[in-house]
Structure 1
Amino acid sequence: MALYAIGDIHGCLGTLDALLDRLALTPEDHVVFIGDYIDRGPDSYGVIERMMALRDAAASGDGPACTFIRGNHDQMLLDWADAKPGAYDLWSANGGLETLMSYPDTRVPPEHFAFYRATVLAAEIDGFAFVHAGFLPGESIEEQLEEPNPDVVLWTRKHLNADLSAWDIPVVCGHTPVSQPLSEEMLIAIDTGAVYAHRPDLGKLTAVRLPEREFISVPYQR
């Protein structure tokens, strides 16, 4: 069995499919998606369709086990759906319009809302913690996993370049684009800016195989 984590997809379905082809996942594998499935890229609708197909294949035993972490962009969509004050303005300014335009008739179907709501804030699998943005640097990961703080796990960057000696297990995260995957003793960062194809230092979707810390990246593809 191989354990993989895949970074921020941001509506880049062609890039996601290219990476999945490279991984050649089997029903014995487990893949963790660390959130931000949507926004900014050309086909957020198609990405969620692919996520649901993977989920269904896992449930039938025909595909790898899947864990779907929630990202801050996924949360912005849910906040808009729940009519929270200011949610539409925040989401639309961060790629939400591109997401709506990718949907037929700009309508998000109930089964997609159900997928977004079923995502989890964090998970621990095989001695690694998976989260979208990160955790607070001064507290143990085990404690923070007990009741993840949405404001932290969806948005924080406080762990970057911080003392992580309080962490008790390695953390795999995305959220902050990096030109190359980061592999430190307690921190693995795999958002290589798949949607930013116009930037020469970004524009790649990255997976990491664990515990080997083997990185697999593909360039942006429409």
Structure 2
Amino acid sequence: MQDTLCEQQRMIAIGDIHGCRQTLEQLIETLAPRPDDQLVFLGDYIDRGPDSKGVIDYLLQLRRTFRCFFLMGNHELMFLDYLESGDPGTWLDNGGRETLASYTVQDGHHLPEAHIDFMKACSYILETEHFVFVHGGLDPEMSIQDNRRYMQPADFCWIRTHLRRSYVETRRYNWKKTVVCGHTPSPDIINLGKLISLDTGCVYDGTDSLGKLSAVILPERKVIQVSNQDR
């Protein structure tokens, strides 16, 4: 069970990792977290990259040393949906084959139980006094309270409406807190008053200026990035 995230200590949010263990290790080394730091991982730990197994092994290791908070990404959600439905098609077509290869298995049911339990335990949304952490985002037209009330938990893993140009350019978000999210790759982080979008396409090295893993230290909004190390 995850601890309670609070603003009394620094919070470090980390974007989409997608099976890039060496890049994640380099980012953590660069961040050099303090013992009382809180690490908030925004989801999409698996798929597409070369070492999804290694990423989850490393996250479980980090959890023994630091206060870690793990959000559900749409890729974890697709994997868990496959386990429940028995239909692997959507997941396999979106990077699941690379995940199976990293575990040297042909069936997702054969992943280590601890890794499946890790994904099942991920949160859909985390909220503090001034920040909301979520993988995909929130509906920009609704308050945070109404997002929680009217949206399904899985919606928080998929939504991209808040990144439409009309919202980014006008900064028109009906939120009283800053939303910190991943999910949608961009060449650099989007750092607005009410929105911090951290997915800089780590796994897409060499494509459209992507290929970086990004973190933001809160509340000061200091950005730390490393280039893909998993080539």
TM-score of the pair, normalised by structure 1 = 0.91
Partner of 1:30: 38
Partner of 1:60: none
Distance in 2 (alpha carbons) for counterparts of 1:48 and 1:123: 20
* 1:7 and 2:15 aligned: yes
Name stretches of at least 5 consecutive residues in structure 2 with no aligned partner.
1-8
Amino acid corresponding to residue 122 of structure 1 in structure 2: I
Distance in 1 (alpha carbons) for counterparts of 2:102 and 2:12: 28
Identical aligned pairs, as a percentage?
44
TM-score of the pair, normalised by structure 2 = 0.88
| Structure 1 residue corresponding to 2:123, chosen from 120, 124, 131 | 120
State the Cα RMSD in Å.
Answer: 1.6
Distance in 2 (alpha carbons) for counterparts of 1:73 and 1:164: 28
* 1:215 and 2:223 aligned: yes
Distance in 2 (alpha carbons) for counterparts of 1:66 and 1:148: 26
8 Å CA contact 1:137–1:164 kept in 2: the answer is yes
| Structure 2 residue corresponding to 1:65, chosen from 58, 64, 67 | 67
Residue 183 of structure 1 deviates from its aligned partner by 0.5
* 1:132 and 2:140 aligned: no
1:26-175 maps to which residues of 2 (within 5 A)? 26-55=34-63, 57=64, 63-83=65-85, 87-106=87-106, 107-145=110-148, 149-160=152-163, 161=165, 162=167, 164-175=172-183
- SS of 1:82 mapped into structure 2: helix
8 Å CA contact 1:129–1:171 kept in 2: the answer is yes
Name stretches of at least 5 consecutive residues in structure 1 with no aligned partner.
58-62
Alpha-carbon spacing, 1:20–1:146, altered in 2? closer, same or farther (3 Å): farther
Distance in 2 (alpha carbons) for counterparts of 1:50 and 1:146: 34
Distance in 1 (alpha carbons) for counterparts of 2:213 and 2:148: 26
Amino acid corresponding to residue 76 of structure 1 in structure 2: M
Distance in 2 (alpha carbons) for counterparts of 1:47 and 1:90: 22
Distance in 1 (alpha carbons) for counterparts of 2:173 and 2:98: 40
8 Å CA contact 2:14–2:40 kept in 1: the answer is yes
8 Å CA contact 1:122–1:148 kept in 2: the answer is no
Structure 1 segments (4+ residues) deviating >6 Å: none
